[in-house]
């Protein structure tokens, strides 16, 4: 994982071309879409739906451009319909995916929540990723710093983190290395690009 939230470069991995920007980049930085039976564009967050993939960078501006300029029809080589709420649906599915992955890490013993537990993990250098709610107190979040060479995620809400950790709300969380942590970081980066207010008032650097 790179510092400040960016995953390590995977330039040797499979790449695809964004229909909005024309740039070729690794698949984990793009959103895959397919055309459903009703000729409507459907986001394929997991990359498993059947059909020809149409790829757009995980960036809100790129997604809006693709929708407004009918680039999905060009990518599909056919007339397709694009829901008005497509960008919001992509954001919703990405957020759900990140929450799901964090939850799996928690069940595997590789994630903790709560200021004291997170602080302890940081002091013992067990934490690889610091997660803080975008709507949490900036003063409270500033007391914790991202692990050296670790990653900071600060654009999930307290309610979303609460779902991930089986609580009502969560402000501070941490992930250990291994397991699904790299996947959490990659999916969180995609969400950051799509989310309007990605937040993050903590200390992104260790």
Residue 144: pLDDT over 50: yes
Looking at residue 197, what is its pLDDT?
67
Residue 198: pLDDT over 70: no
∠ CA 75-192-76, nearest 5°, is 5
How would you class 84 by CB atoms within 10 Å of its CB: exposed for 0-12, middle for 13-18, buried for 19 or more? exposed
Residue 192: pLDDT over 90: yes
Of residues 135 and 6, the one with the higher pLDDT is: 135
Of residues 43 and 140, the one with the higher pLDDT is: 43
Residue 3 pLDDT class (50, 70, 90 cuts): very low
Q: Find the mean pLDDT for residues 152-167.
A: 98
Q: Are 169 and 162 in contact (CB under 8 A)?
A: yes
pTM exceeding 0.75: yes
Residue 125: pLDDT over 90: yes
């Amino acid at each position: 994982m790179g510092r400040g939230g960016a995953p390590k470069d995977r330039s040797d991995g499979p790449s695809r071309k964004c229909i909005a920007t024309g740039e070729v980049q690794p698949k984990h930085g793009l959103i895959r879409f397919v055309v459903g039976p009703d000729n409507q564009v459907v986001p394929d967050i997991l990359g498993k739906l059947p059909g020809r993939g149409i790829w757009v960078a995980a960036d809100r501006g790129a997604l809006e451009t693709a929708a407004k300029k009918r680039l999905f029809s060009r990518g599909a080589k056919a007339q397709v319909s694009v829901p008005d709420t497509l960008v919001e649906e992509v954001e919703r599915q990405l957020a759900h995916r990140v929450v799901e992955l964090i939850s799996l890490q928690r069940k595997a013993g590789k994630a903790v929540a709560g200021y004291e537990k997170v602080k302890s993990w940081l002091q013992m250098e067990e934490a690889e990723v610091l997660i803080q709610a975008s709507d949490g107190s900036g003063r409270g979040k500033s007391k914790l710093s991202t692990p050296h060479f670790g990653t900071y995620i600060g654009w999930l809400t307290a309610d979303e983190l609460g779902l991930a950790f089986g609580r009502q709300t969560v402000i501070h969380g941490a992930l250990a290395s291994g397991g699904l942590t790299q996947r959490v970081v990659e999916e969180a980066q995609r969400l950051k690009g799509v989310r309007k207010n990605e937040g993050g008032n903590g200390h992104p650097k260790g």
